[in-house]
Amino acid sequence: MQTPIRGLRSFCIAAKCLSFKHAASQLFLTPSAVSHQIKQLEDQLGTQLFKRQTRSIELTSAGKQFYKSVYPIITNLEQTIADFTNNQQNKTITISLPEFFASELFVPKLSEWAELNPDINLQLETVKSASQTPASADLSIVLANGKPNGSVVHELFPIRYVPACNKKLYRKWAAHGEEALSSVPLILHQARPWSWHQWADKNDVPNFDPKQIIQFDSMFGVARAAQQGMGIALVPMPISKAWFSEQLLVKLFDQELVTNDKYFLIQHEDIESAAELTTFANWVKDNFAD
């Protein structure tokens, strides 16, 4: 006669807490059901495992010996089942990253990741700034002016800013040089409100007096506004190279604004024990780090 696994599990839990009632609550059973399962086990073994008293139970000497032998087996079996179940399910990684990084660099590479790692799901959380990073993120990609805080931080690449506009504005103003800066609205990201003034200072532009400055809270908005002919934008490179290769934008001046802005990959905790997170972090570094 085979011994039911559920009876052995009920015995181990009851033996550990010395209460059929508490064992029942852990097993989502009634105390009488737990008592019945253990009675069946005792009948099969031909020995009493518990001394049943009015308000308590205690293990007999045979019960103590049986618990000592059976508990490691049941524990290992449950762990094996849990491990097997987890292995059959796809792991999910949550990554937080800037909207522009996602659209220009990350998404075009996603098919490669999916093909190489079909058993790892990705959940992307796009944000406008590093301060919006969700607490649920396993890893984050951020743009920062210095090394950000994090358990493990990997530098990916620096960015520089180039003055750019659409082809129509280029044809109209390219021959006029710096005169365009005081005749056409200048576009920038609100996180760098003085970037046009910094560009002018570093390139010795005399009497820099913008006609109008328009700020956006997203880098996509900056690039899109320039593409639509709203004005001249300071566009980050190399992340925006597709806009230039597809001739959506054209460099109006060769001079660039070089800053300390860099993209970083942040691991929010030690992920050495999570193989899928290590795999993903290595893939990001292989594809995007200089």
Does 164 have pLDDT greater than 60? yes
Q: Give the pLDDT mean for 258-280.
A: 82
Q: Which of 65, 88, 111 is the last residue of a domain?
A: 88
The rounded Cα 237 to chain-centroid distance in angstroms is 24
| CA 39 from centroid of its chain's CA atoms | 50
Share of the chain above pLDDT 90, in %: 64
Give the domain CATH number at 206.
3.40.190.10
Q: What share of the chain is helix, strand, coil (3-state, %, to 5)?
A: 45, 25, 30
Same-domain pairing of 167 and 248: yes
Which pLDDT score, from 0 to 100, does residue 129 have?
A: 66
Amino acid letter, residue 84: F
Is residue 258 located within the same domain as residue 163?
yes
Place of tokens 């044809």: 171
45 and 133 share one domain: no
Candidates 262, 236, 244; CA nearest to 160 is 236
Is residue 274 within 8 Å of residue 139, measured between CB atoms? Answer: no
Helix H or strand E segment including 22: helix 20-27
Same domain for 275 and 152, yes or no, is yes
Q: Are residues 77 and 106 in the same domain?
A: no
Within the chain, strands assigned E span 50-52, 57-59, 91-98, 120-127, 139-144, 152-165, 186-189, 213-216, 232-237, 250-251, 257-267
- Comparing 88-97, 127-136, 225-234, 264-273, the range with the smallest average pLDDT is 127-136
For residues 68 and 64, give the distance between their C-alpha atoms in angstroms, rounded to a whole number: 6
Q: What is the reported pLDDT for 130? A: 59
Whose CA is closest to 57, among 71, 72, 38?
Answer: 38
CATH of the domain at 38: 1.10.10.10
Residue type (1 letter), 266: I
* Residues 245, 117 share a domain: no
Token readout for 74 is 């049941």
Q: Which residues contact 144 (CB under 8 A, 6 or more apart)?
A: 130, 261, 262, 264
Give residue-wise pLDDT tens across range 203-247.
999 889 998 999 999 999 999 999 999 999 999 999 999 999 999
Q: List 263's β-bridge partners, or say none.
A: 143, 157
Are residue 181 and residue 166 in the same domain, yes or no?
yes
* CB contact set of 173 (below 8 Å; sequence gap of 6+): 165, 179, 180, 183, 184, 232, 252
Integer Cα distance of 216 and 109 in angstroms: 26
- Per the CB < 8 A criterion, the answer to whether 13 and 26 are in contact is yes
The count of domains in the chain is 3
User: How many other C-beta atoms are found inside a 10 Å radius of the C-beta of residue 11?
Assistant: 27
Query: Would you call 217 helix, strand, or coil by DSSP?
Result: coil
Mark whether 101 and 78 lie in a shared domain.
Answer: no
Q: Are residues 73 and 199 in the same domain?
A: no
* pTM, to two decimals: 0.66
Beta carbons within 10 angstroms of residue 126's beta carbon: 17
Are 148 and 222 members of one domain?
no
Final residue in a domain of this structure, among 39, 62, 88: 88
Are 100 and 79 in a shared domain?
no
The whole domain housing 173 covers 159-262
Are 74 and 207 in the same domain? Answer: no
Q: Which among 88, 113, 136 is the end of a domain?
A: 88
Alpha-carbon distance of 169 to 167, in angstroms, equals 6
CA distances from 103 to 145, 147, 235, 243 (A): 21, 24, 15, 12
Mean pLDDT of 178-200: 94
